[in-house]
Amino acid sequence: MNEFKNFIESKGLHFQDKQLLLLYTAIKLNKPVLLRGLPGTGKTEITKVIAEYLGAEYIFYQCTLGTTEDDLIYKILPSESTKSGVQLILGALPEALKKSQKTRVVLVLDEFDKTRPSCDALLLDFLQNYRVSTRISNSEKVIQGNPENLWVFITSNDEREFSEPLLRRVISIKFEPLKPELVRKILESKGFKEDIITLLVQLYKDTLNAGLKKPATVQELVELGKAIEVLGDQADWSSLVYSYVIKDDYEWQKFIEYLRNRNSDDYNDYNDSEDITEYYENIDSNVEEEEQEELWKPRMPRISVKTVKTEIQEKEVVDREKTVSFMVQYNDDSYDRIVKDFEPEPSNHPAILGDFKVIRDGEEKWIIREDPLTIRDLVEQVTGTDSGVKVKLKEIFEEYYDLRVYVKDKVQLTNDFYKRLTKKFKVLYYTRDLMRFKYYDGVDFILRKISDDNKYWSTWEIEVVVEYRPKDLGEVIKALFENNPKYVVSKIFTEWIEENYHYKEFRVPSDDKEVINQKVNEIRDEIEKCRRAWAEEWNYEPVILSNIKVKLRYGDGSWDYREEYIYEAEKVKFL
């Protein structure tokens, strides 16, 4: 569930946990889903992301007012090869069924509440048996889909009720507008200033309460916030709210009427171009109103947000030369990044962040660390056969070129590691016990041999200096990881598994449990025997680097097999 939620949010979508939990369950159980709710709540958008999450082909059909059963089954295209000038081909339902026979498919019937009620009956057999009857060229054909490969999503703006038989075949999920607290968090993550965030959240609350067809969406609020930032002093609140959020004259009248009633002040009579700026201002009632100019000029609410000021006083003032292992200029972003990535225990002073501290050197403040960092300090995680490396402090690496990092650690490397490192990095020093490499102009590192451990690998001390291109440190760590004996033996083991077992089918012409269990145990014993042999040889326990599945088919001897996965291993994270 957490992986699914993180994937959805990584695509910029945010929903309540209860909605995501229901969606996740429906996906795992492969059940048809009815997504209900106001327009703009993300019903359609999340289906696209789910298709990406499943690695499925996306088939989308936009229903319109009066869509019929035939519209869902057939498409009519112009054709010069027919007498009628048109050609009949398969529509969304049979197309999805046909493709599901070979690959994963997500089918979306968008705004199904606009269809004729008779369309409900068409979906009953489709959703229950995953089949549909078609008639093209005077021949009737039943197209059967693969239910394990097909996910069906129906969206509705609740413009009509659905039949009870249809509702019994779907999981119904109500999409409600986001809570203002969550909207605020999303806007904060976009980097808007506090006064703009407060303004946008208030606007969101107003669109929720004004009885409009739909409240402002997060996407509309984000775009509105960007427009305010771009226009600066030229931003006009009324014009922007109408153009980015309301977009309809009748809805605009309703919105203004709501704003007038939510304030107790006596406002002028309504007119089409009424300025709504004053409804968003915190102005002392005793302050006289400024004289209005005849010419129109852009206006934004004069809003002030109450803030609490805190200033971090440095713990140390440097008045002599000082050697450190880490230094970056102090500001709000770098301070925040250190806390988030290294998670130091809180101290009695805000300038002390575990092994890091804030100091002053002349007119500038720096965050420093005196003890060298280790590779594990800087690596967040390593996963997969391509040894993907996620490095901490990524934001600082990309934005600040005055960052300095010194890393000192011990690493275990295969005895032929140098063959690969010399191809990837510039070689500055090259002997049996000491090697020095450089990656572009940013990363300089030295490897100093400590011991020969066995015929496969040895232990080295590494020192890394990052000066101008610190994000390239990730490339160095990735290269070291790919030459680590634990990774190498795991890669060999995984390749052997993939060659002999990955998605391999074993057939047992019987559904006798004793026969099936015997085959299952044979396969597991073979895999574990191989793992133990390599573990003894390399003195490392190999792990699986990629997703491995072994499939067993069994039946009654007529080759009409049922199947199940009897061995599953997901790729692991090394750190």
Total residue length of the chain: 575
Higher pLDDT, 322 or 432: 432
The verdict on residue 384 lying in a domain is yes
pLDDT band at 267 (very low <50, low <70, confident <90, very high): very low
> Which of 459, 483, 507 is the endpoint of a domain?
483
Same domain for 166 and 213: no
Whether residue 175 contacts residue 169, with contact meaning beta carbons closer than 8 Å, is answered with: no
Contacts of 464 (CB under 8 A, 6+ apart): 405, 406, 407, 408, 443, 444, 445, 473, 476
Q: Which of 397, 418, 561, 540 is nearest to 470 (CA)?
A: 397
Average pLDDT over residues 326-347: 86
Same domain for 393 and 435: yes
Helix 485-500 vs helix 513-538: crossing angle, to nearest 10: 150
pLDDT of residue 393: 64
What does each C-alpha distance from 386 to 37, 382, 503, 545, 546 come to in angstroms? 42, 9, 20, 9, 10
pLDDT band at 264 (very low <50, low <70, confident <90, very high): very low
Contacts of 453 (CB under 8 A, 6+ apart): 412, 459
Distance CA 381, CA 390 (A): 5
Whether 330 has a pLDDT exceeding 60, the answer reads yes
Helices (H) and strands (E) in the chain, counts: 19, 24
Per-residue pLDDT tens over the stretch 56-92: 999 999 998 888 888 888 887 766 666 656 667 788 8
What does each C-alpha distance from 575 to 80, 143, 479, 481, 555 come to in angstroms? 62, 48, 15, 11, 43
Tell me the CB-side half-sphere exposure of residue 256, using CA atoms within 13 A: 21
The verdict on residue 414 lying in a domain is yes
Dihedral of CA 342/347/350/355: which sign? Answer: negative
Whether 200 has a pLDDT exceeding 50, the answer reads yes
> Which of 369, 388, 404 is the endpoint of a domain?
369
The verdict on residue 403 lying in a domain is yes
Range of the domain at 192: 180-280
Q: What is the DSSP letter of 82?
A: S
Same domain for 236 and 153: no
The verdict on residue 289 lying in a domain is no
What does each C-alpha distance from 152 to 43, 105, 106, 108, 329 come to in angstroms? 13, 8, 6, 6, 52
pLDDT of residue 555: 63
3-state secondary structure of 137: coil
> Which of 483, 512, 537 is the endpoint of a domain?
483
The verdict on residue 415 lying in a domain is yes
Same domain for 558 and 515: yes
Q: Which of 313, 311, 310, 406 is nearest to 358 (CA)?
A: 313
Distance CA 212, CA 255 (A): 7
Distance CA 467, CA 480 (A): 19
What is the pLDDT of the chain when averaged over all its residues?
78
Same domain for 171 and 196: no
Same domain for 459 and 320: no
Same domain for 362 and 254: no
Same domain for 122 and 28: yes
Same domain for 205 and 157: no
Tokens 């990044």 map to which residue?
Answer: 337
pLDDT of residue 315: 56
What is the total count of domains within the chain?
5
- CATH code, domain carrying 148: 3.40.50.300
H helix intervals, 42-179: 43-54, 69-73, 92-100, 119-129, 164-168
Same domain for 410 and 473: yes
Whether 394 has a pLDDT exceeding 70, the answer reads no
Average pLDDT over residues 433-462: 87
Same domain for 202 and 70: no
The verdict on residue 344 lying in a domain is yes
Q: For residue 228, how far is the Cα from the chain centroid? A: 27
pTM of the model: 0.45
The verdict on residue 20 lying in a domain is yes
The verdict on residue 217 lying in a domain is yes
Same domain for 357 and 209: no
